[in-house]
Amino acid sequence: KYDCVGAVMVNDDWGFKTATMLSPEDLRKYIFPYYKKIVEMVHKSGRLAMLHSCGNLTEVMDDIIYDMKFDGKHSFEDNILPVEEGYRKYADKIAILGGIDLDFIARESVENIRARCAALIQLTGYKGYALGTGNSIPDYIPFKNFAAMIGCVYPEFEEHFSHLL
């Protein structure tokens, strides 16, 4: 119905830092069948289905990729699975989205943020990866740090907002 929609992002956190919130068996029995239907509907409409889910989903990544058939996975955290490792492990199976950890972007220097983003771009060559944070941007993130990340892809962003930096 809406030609401007290219993808649907489904949001539901299924994990803690150490494991899934429910057992993988219970997720497969009670939760995943509904998401599989959602992904099927999205695909029938000719769109991509993206998943945002925080937490350690290692035990159910095959379900996300092969059973539910999500096209992309968002939310990577350095203390669970750094995005660089997630890319190396899964990028040939599912698009990797975001992953610049919020703690990293909140605390690190602009130089370190630029260096990490540049290294990610070099690692991925933009094949199966979209640069971004591991979650939404809260108001405590220094604007200069956010601008440094965006500036790695769009240098004019930092130039345009230089008066705010």
Joined tokens for residue 39:
């992904």
Is the CATH number 3.40.50.300 carried by domain 7-160? no
Over the stretch 137-160, which tens digit does the pLDDT of each residue have? Answer: 999 999 999 999 999 999 888 788
Q: Could you read off the pLDDT of 13-34 as tens digits, one per residue? A: 999 999 999 999 999 999 999 9
What is the per-residue pLDDT for 11?
95
**pLDDT in the model for residue 163:** 78
Nearest to 11 by CA among 51, 62, 59: 51
pLDDT at 1: 66
Q: Which of 145, 41, 64 is nearest to 103 (CA)?
A: 145
Tokens of 120: 């990610």
Distance of CA 158 to the CA centre of its chain: 23
Read off the pLDDT of residues 42-100 as tens digits, 9 standing for 90 and up.
999 999 999 999 999 999 999 999 999 999 999 999 999 999 999 999 999 999 999 99
Mean pLDDT of 113-126: 95
Euclidean distance between CA atoms 119 and 155, whole angstroms = 16
Residue 146, pLDDT score? 94
Beta bridge partners of 48: 7
Q: How many Å apart are CA 101 and CA 73, to the nearest integer?
A: 15
Q: Is 5 helix (H, G, I), strand (E, B) or coil?
A: coil
The pTM for the full model equals 0.91
- Write out the DSSP string of 75-127: ---TTT--HHHHHHHHTTTSEEE--B-HHHHHHS-HHHHHHHHHHHHHHHTTS
Phi, psi of 113 (to 5 degrees): -65, -45
